[in-house]
A and B are shown apart, each in its own frame.
Chain A
Amino acid sequence: MSKPKLVVVGNGMAGMRTVEELLKLAPDLYDITVFGDEPHPNYNRILLSPVLAGEQTLEGIVLNSREWYAERGITLHTGSPVVRIDRVRRCVETADGRLAHYDRLLIATGSRPFLLPVPGKDLAGVTGFRDIADVEAMLAAAARYRHAVVIGGGLLGLEAANGLQRRGMEVTVVHIAPWLLERQLDEPAARLLQQNLEAKGLKFLLETQTEALIGSASGRVRAVRFKDGSEVPADLVVMAVGIRPNTALAEAAGLCCNRGIVVDDTLQTVTDPRIYAVGECVNHRGVAYGLVAPLFEQAKVAANHLARFGIGRYRGSMTATKLKVTGIDLFSAGNFMGGEGYEEIVFRDAGRGSYKKLVLKDERLAGAVLYGDTLDGAWYFELMRDGTDVSAFRDRLMFGRQHLGDSGHGDDKTQVLALPDTAEICGCNGVCKGSIVAAIREKKLFTLEEVRAHTKASSSCGSCTGLVEALLAATAGGDYSTAPSKKPLCPCTELTHDEVRAAIVAQGLKSISETQRFLDWKTPDGCPKCRPALNYYLLCAWPGEYVDDAQSRFINERAHGNIQKDGTFSVVPRMWGGLTNPRELRAIADVAEKFRVAEIKITGGQRIDLFGVKKEDLPAVWRELSAAGFVSGHAYGKALRTVKTCVGSQWCRFGTQDSTGLGVKLEQATWGSWMPHKFKMAVSGCPRNCAEATIKDLGVVCVESGYEIHVGGNGGIKVRVTDLLCHVKTEAEVIEYASAFIQLYREEAHYLERTAPWVERVGLAHIKARVVEDADSRRTLAERFRRSQETAQTDPWQTRAQGAERHEFAPLAMLV
């Protein structure tokens, strides 16, 4: 049986990315034929600027070699423009008379440079800046001539000007607006950029309008004349005043076009469902994208439908901009001009050539312009996309996330690009800069996810994400950080954490499979990312009713111990508030001897850890610990871990309150609760804070007049000091406020989100409003927590010691 035929018109980045995504999903579904105007295989168009500047070679930017097409059985016709689409006969026709029948057609014709309609635009020596032919024409001119004029002071124009200048030409940039990059930069940032470029030797004519290009007797351009009558000499004129979606072919075929081929969320043309369109030629929800990341997202969705999966939706992208001129770093995104109702935070250090402007609306970041130091662009972009409330750290917002200085990355403030290849970027997986750059080049990676999959860099704790993104931007070019306008929970769904949670409650969804079915999950039974999240969300929504799904829990929570690198487990019994006694210590010692525990260690949370316990021994170990009165310490869970205490007023000469006793009460009220992530508490007896309460998820600092409650601290990957939530007078109030805070965190945080990023995301004001200022809200939250605890506080160790879940611990068969 012959396969259906897929014809791709356009051999560029968007079209071929779609084909690659399609081959991943359904390698044998179609006979694929690709037509390209240019005589080259698919190459990375973003890197034409570095090629022009002599920093890259043409061979180095090829994405898919001819062998690549051949190995996959794809028929490739290069230098063969399609001139007609016959939608009735379902075939396309090329300029050289070739006909190709299609069952599905993918149009990816990209865009064309817009040429100013001025006299002389057709003279020799006048070019756009779009493809390899343009670059070759510019290089040829640079080798023979001296004067170049670039019309247009946008991204492309400046990159062309920089490249030509590097090739030895004298370059003048003509721009009609009062400052450069007016769509990406505000005036102060643009002035800095202009100074920087002038120092490199470029000349600028701003607010200058071109009237005509003047030719010589030989028919080549020799000068540019402006509206005011002045002229500059020009042997080469590069027009970079904008691009237009290349829709002529689609329009001739009767497809609806309106500044782009109009497509729906599945990237099908609204006119003909057999025809898809992706890339710069497309108008999706009124927007035509000119950056690479949105095109790749479109490619994914189109491929999904071509593969007949039929589940992806493209909902638009947020984009950010970078300029690819070596030595110049700028970043802009969102509404960076501000206006009525917007606030601005501005930092300017002209001496260092650094400028930052952040635009805020309603305590949320609406836009950003960075010039000079752009390392935090990705972070600002994330804050914008997630609509994070920045009020809590507004005073520090300007200074960035400061990736450098996090644990595992040293304190070297050197820019990542200046680091040697041997510098370690990812401290968790030991990945150095050289391997990341090599992988990006050799495997042609474009997104953070791809770099993570191939190199493992930033795939563990994630704190080096900003560094990896900076390397990606520098190596692959383009808008690396552009992301979907919302972030799905996992690849199995398009929905966000919040949308899934809301649906569980609103629709009364009571099991993982029911949730996945109702919400149109793309996979039959989810993945290791969504299943534990769904299990937690259901557990939190329906306490006492939802039956926990052991198979959707990570092994530590299924086996109630921490798996170690050799496959054995560690066992941490709960020690309330860090207190113990000779009888308990004797029981632990006995267990350790009887089961030949390999190592005993005091944990950071004031408890005892027994290492090297075989899985099949766990129930027996627990039986003995249970008999001595121990319960699980949940040291393995996304759950309440420990309550660390200092000795407090009972012994300490400085103690103001009974911090140990309060710690025990807090732990007794909260143990056994499942959380979005691990949750640690501490109680210190005085402001000397020996229990280090101000880097805990919830910390209590006792003072003479009562108790300070602090929240959102973290002593791990990224140290964060708590925010002061409130001051209360009694222990009972501490328990109520803590319960309410915990319940709010349980109900609102995303799975695997610690309190520190959660507090930063929703803002302390929101938490105060629910937990401190509104007594009814606080009581209701605390009451919900108390009720949930009624069923949560059963000791998992004891039930398993008594025989529950036996299959988890015993081999199915012993053949030895």
Chain B
Amino acid sequence: MNALHDGWIDIGRIDDIPRQGARVIAAPGGNIAVFRTVDDEVFALADRCPHRGGPLSQGIVHGRRVACPLHDWRIQLDTGQAVAPDEGCVARYPVLVENGVVRLRLVPHDACPNP
């Protein structure tokens, strides 16, 4: 684990993340939530809801969305955007799955101002 190449870090196996669920990565810049959808797509977002900082990793994952456990804001996993009419976004992290291994980069995509 944690073998570094090109900034990609092995964080575990996809099977370690429950389908329609998420796991937390404790990272230097704060927790990152890694989600697995019902179709085995994997997404990584900062584990902080843009509304009041709720831990998105604890929400119910449905389709490509997660519902924040604190006040039920819905966040789009593939864009990091709050679902309208709510407004806000969460930082997205590059993540990929190779041979069942989930790899993550700690430098977020720059589309969202919220780190």
Contacts and interface: CB of A to CB of B under 8 A. Distances in A.
Contacts of B39: 524
Given A551-B19, A565-B52, A567-B55, A815 B61 contact: no
Contacts of A454: 85
B37 to A, nearest CB: 8
B70 A565 contact: yes
Given A443-B85, A813-B11, 12 more contacts: A453-B85, A524-B39, A525-B20, A528-B60, A551-B20, A551-B21, A555-B59, A558-B58, A559-B58, A807-B16, A815-B28, A816-B27
9 contacts: A527-B63, A551-B19, A554-B60, A567-B54, A567-B58, A807-B18, A811-B24, A813-B26, A816-B26
A524 B38 contact: yes
A563 B9 contact: no
Interface of B: 1-2, 9, 11-12, 16-21, 23-28, 31, 34, 38-39, 52-55, 58-63, 67, 69-70, 72, 85, 106
Contacts of A713: none
- 8 pairs of A and B residues whose beta carbons are closest in the complex: A812-B23, A551-B20, A555-B58, A813-B11, A525-B38, A528-B67, A528-B60, A555-B69
A81 interface: no
Interface string A190-201: 000000000000
A528 B26 CA distance: 26
Contact of A526 (B11, B62, B69): B62
Nearest to B70: A565
Nearest to A558: B58
B17 A554 contact: no
Interface string A531-553: 11000000000000000001110
Contact of A815 (B2, B17, B18, B69): B2
Contact of B62 (A531, A559, A811): A531
Nearest to A559: B58
A603 interface: no
Contacts of A799: none
B99 to A, nearest CB: 17
Contacts of B63: 523-525, 527
Contacts of A555: 58-60, 69
Contact of B60 (A531, A811, A812, A814): A531
A559 B57 CA distance: 12
Given A551-B20, A551-B61, A813 B67 contact: no
A436 B67 CA distance: 24
Interface residues of A, number: 28
Contacts of B31: 811
Nearest to B61: A551
Interface in A782-816: 807, 811-816
A563 B69 contact: yes
Contacts, number: 88
Contacts of B61: 551
Contacts of B19: 551
Q: In terms of DSSP, what is the predominant structure of the interface of chain B? A: loop
Given A524-B39, A528-B72, A552 B60 contact: yes
A812 B17 contact: yes
Contacts of B1: 813
Contact of B9 (A531, A532, A552, A815): A815
Contacts of B60: 528, 531-532, 551-552, 554-555
A531 B66 CA distance: 13
Nearest to A809: B24
A453 B18 CA distance: 30
B21 to A, nearest CB: 5
Contacts of A531: 60, 62
Contacts of A559: 58
A815 B72 contact: no
A811 B25 contact: yes
B101 to A, nearest CB: 12
Interface string A491-534: 00000000000000000000000000000000111111001100
B28 A816 contact: yes
Contacts of B23: 807, 811-812
A527 B67 CA distance: 9
Contacts of A554: 60, 69
A345 to B, nearest CB: 39
A813 B4 CA distance: 14
A93 to B, nearest CB: 38
Interface string A439-462: 000010000000001100000000
Q: Which of B52, B61, B106 has the most CB of A within 10 A?
A: B61
Contacts of B34: 812
Given A525-B20, A567-B54, A567-B55, A815 B62 contact: no
Nearest to A569: B58
Contacts of A558: 58
A804 to B, nearest CB: 13
Given A443-B85, A551-B61, A565-B52, A812 B12 contact: yes
Contacts of A815: 2, 9, 11, 25-28, 106
Nearest to A452: B85
Contacts of B38: 524-525
Nearest to B1: A813
Contacts of A526: 62
Nearest to B60: A528
Contacts of A525: 20, 38, 62-63
Contacts of A453: 85
A445 to B, nearest CB: 10
B40 to A, nearest CB: 12
A551 B63 CA distance: 13
Nearest to B39: A524
A788 B25 CA distance: 38
A807 B57 CA distance: 12
Contacts of B62: 523, 525-528, 531
A525 B19 CA distance: 11
A731 to B, nearest CB: 40
Nearest to A24: B84
A814 B70 contact: no
A286 to B, nearest CB: 37
Interface in A76-111: none
